[in-house]
Structures are given as structure tokens and as C-alpha cells.
Amino acid sequence: MSAIHLDRGDALLVIDMQVDFLPGGALGVAAGHEVVAPINHLIALYREQGLPVVASRDWHPQDHCSFAAQGGPWPPHCVAGTPGAAFAAELALPDDAIVVSKADSAGADAYSAFNGTALAQQLRERGIERVTVCGLATDYCVLNTVTDALEEGFDTLIVPEAMRAVDVDPGDGTRALDRMVARGAVPVRLNAAGMTALSVA
């Protein structure tokens, strides 16, 4: 295992850490609250070096196509401007975090933070070459964000301890992690000094 050294080409992507995705929320992810502490650790690591922190959020209209009433698979969640769409109160987002709103039109869904947003351009304008991805949920928005980050040409680190899965089908989260690694993402582990790359069999 080798230590990860952050530099000016690094950014942190915090995916959908919103009230509705936490336990008790409209679309709560089991144990989703457990990732707040490791994500706050990551935020501190990046802020210590003045590196960008990006926070994505679902920002749906009330009649969004993903909602069951419109024929979608999910209950209403993360409706723009509602308490459920707010970031988790315990999440230590810096004041200068880059907020990326996605799936904000009624007729189009977007799991990836890159889908229909200017995120790739914003990262390139800042000279970012590598992203670290964490948040909710492993098998949906994290998986799709990681896939798009790799397709956009960004080296991509993932932090399994800082994400949780919906697991509609048991094992979805594990399979999503395997897919991310197979596509080129590098799993890392947090430690007191920072991050360490995990060996991949």
C-alpha cells in the first residue's frame, strides 16, 4: 500500500450528502449517517492544502420524472429548496465549496454529478487532474459519477468507508465497487496521515 500525496491537481467530490438520503429521510440510505465523519476528515485534508471541495446535490422540481407519481422508481425526494434537499447538518462543507445541482429539470434524471452540469469544465479550469469521490449512494450516484469522471479523463480515487449503498438488491453496493475498480478507479483508505491506496487483486 502506498500513501496518496495530494497536490494542486486534486479535488474532492462529495456526492449527494443530503437530508433525504440519510436514515429517516424520504429516500434514506441505511447507515448513510456513518459516512459523515470520514467525509469530514476528507474535507479537512483537502482544505488544509487549499484544494477544491465539490458538493453535488439532487435538486428536483416537484414533478420530477424519477418520482413514482410520474412513473419513476423513487418516492419524492430532494425537492429544490425543501429541508430534505439541504446538505446534512453535520457535514463540514467549507464556505467556498463548489455546489453542483443536478437533475433539476422535470423531464431528465441524472445520477452522475457530471450529467447535465458544467462540472468537468469547472474542474479543468482549475487544473484538476485527479478526483476523490465519496458520498451517497455507492450503487447509484457515486457509481455514475465515478464512471463519468473516468470517461472525462480524470484519475479517480474512491473511499469505500466514506460511501454507503441503497442495495435494492443485496450486494448492489459491492458490485458497484467492483465495477468502479474494474473501470480504473483506485480504492483508498483513510488514516491519521491522510489516504493510502489499497492493493487491487
Residues tagged active-site: 16, 102, 141
**What are the beta bridge partners of residue 63?**
none
Residue 123, classified by CB atoms within 10 Å of its CB into exposed (0-12), middle (13-18) or buried (19+), is buried
Cis previous bond, 137, omega within 30: yes
Whether the Cβ atoms of residue 188 and residue 197 lie closer than 8 Å to each other: yes
**What are the beta bridge partners of residue 72?**
none
Q: Cβ neighbours of residue 54 under 8 Å, at least 6 residues apart?
A: 11, 12, 13, 14, 97, 98, 99, 100, 113, 119, 122, 123
Q: Is 194 left (phi over 0), alpha (psi -120 to 50) or beta?
A: left
Other Cβ atoms within 10 Å of 23 Cβ, number: 12
